[in-house]
Structure 1
Amino acid sequence: MANNWIDAAAEADVPDDDVTSVAAGGVELALYGVAGEVFATANLCTHGNARLCDGFLEGHEIECPLHQGKFDIRSGRASCEPATEAVRTYPVKIENGRVYVDLG
């Protein structure tokens, strides 16, 4: 499968130790800045209709603002009930101060 790298944001627009949302390539993404790295997931919780960008980021875990389910932003794995289904993650690369996300 071919890579589909999309320019999603300026690296400077991804906050340290926090989350923001962007629309890139027709997909709503949550971008997370953690320890100098950027991670990307789908922005919608798999348990309820809530945007993960409105949640609470602690380390590599995002807590859904609606029912407090948690996901590991590196793997997408649900790590706390009521969330049981993983959230989709996307590969990220940084080039020339821009965040690229592979939507492929």
Structure 2
Amino acid sequence: MSLRNRVSLIGYTGKEVEIVNFENGGIKASVSLATNDHYTNAKGEKVEETQWHNLVAYGKTAEIMQKYLSKGREIAVEGKLTYRSYEDKEGVKRNITEIRVEELLLLGNK
């Protein structure tokens, strides 16, 4: 994996894994990941902030995600940022940022 475009995250899956099977036998897995950050604001109050990330994986990594991940599972991932755009049903152009998972580590007890 290139060091120029590398992302490492630890968080909790926010939904069940979505699977797409391709005609050529390939597989794609998608899931959301929540990461949390804590900080103290100017008033001295502790604030927790949650960020949501879209994860996608292909091949063996997708198969592992399908088999072992469920909503609420703690995982660590490494991958690269990817950007794509599409038109929604109303014809509006939408942009999406995803993390293409290349390494997956299952954490926690689930």
- Report the TM-score when normalising by structure 2: 0.32
Greater share of strand residues, 1 or 2? Answer: 2
Structure number, greater radius of gyration:
2
